[in-house]
Amino acid sequence: MIYAFSISLIVFNVLISLLKIKNKKIQLFFKSIILFFMWILYWGNYTSADYDNYKWLYKSLATSSEWIIGNQPGFAIFMKIGSILNLDYNQFLLVVSFISFWLIIFTVEKYSHESNIVYVFYFISPFILDVVQVKHFLSMSIIIYSLKYLEKRNLKNDIKFVIMIFLAMSIHYVALFFLPLVLLNKIKPEQIKLIVLSLFIALSIFVITGVFKDVVYLLFNPQKMDRYFLINPSFGVLFVYIVQSFIIFSIILLKKFLNQKKISNNFINLVYKINIYSFLLFPLYFINVAFIRGFRILMIPNYIFISYSLNLMNNRNRIIIIFFSFLFILFLLFFFSLGSSFKNSLIPIFENNLIFDLL
């Protein structure tokens, strides 16, 4: 029944976009349901892959006088505050996920002309992974929200962006990858390509020679970093290269379409630049495909980019883009979310839920 309900939500929200239904009440009704459903899936779950580890950390902080356990103090402080408020772990998830979803919804509604399709795409992928990786989800929501400060280029907004990125970095190190955006955003797209190419070559050399590893071990806890550097690359790296390349080049083609229409938008231009910048992740995949988390954060902004472009297309092109985007994102569901098998990822999230158990 839960699976049928999920599929129904996907179908109705896709139809709203396909049929260009402009009725705001209908749009709001169906996107509210899918967002509420995702929220329940998030905080009500009690058997996702990392659930026990997070719950153990939460209980450890609750019974300890320490405020910080580990090397990412922001998340530990959030947990400590939750324990002081006498919240159990799932209640803590309820609060944290509400904040995270609010940050995401604010950004989507601000920049997307068709938010229903954005939420559907995100629900299909990579939402399932975000349910498992709580720190990543909270950090991602802060990063996505902070992008608004890069729209207008001034010192005040730059400072706000840096503060937000450091906050996100205190929760998950992945946020560090986005810190240079405060500088790249001031550079023209044509110049960014040359800069990224130069940095790509330099970073590749550093990775191959081991210099990158030495620098990372110097800046961060070596024991924490071992899990990234002690795993040999697999054939999965090739698929990551193909998937990310396909997404980036799709964004490039959509940007050309917008240029032909003589449409310019600061947020869309920013997302385009970040996609070009994300090529710098490629050398890191040779170390560990876990660095794909950096690109996963870009998925929601990319969905916003797609939805923005859809609004300017004729019906034929619009249907084609939605159809193939849907198929590709469905593929991502299996590629990113189900790599650890159906049993360990998707099924526990949909079938083991505090709210569903009451029904």
- Length of the chain equals 359
How many domains does the chain contain in total? Answer: 1
Domain span at 95: 2-358
Quote the pLDDT of residue 307: 95
**Region for residue 149 given its phi and psi (left: phi exceeds 0; alpha: psi -120 to 50; beta: otherwise):** alpha
Which residues does the chain have with pLDDT short of 70?
69-71, 223-224, 226-227, 230-235, 336-345
d(CA 178, CA 281): 11
pTM of the predicted structure, to 2 decimals: 0.94
Task: Tell me if 69 sits within 8 A of 62, measured CB to CB.
Answer: no
Give 45's DSSP letter. B
Quote the pLDDT of residue 159: 95
pLDDT digits (tens, 9 = 90+) for 180-189: 999 988 888 7
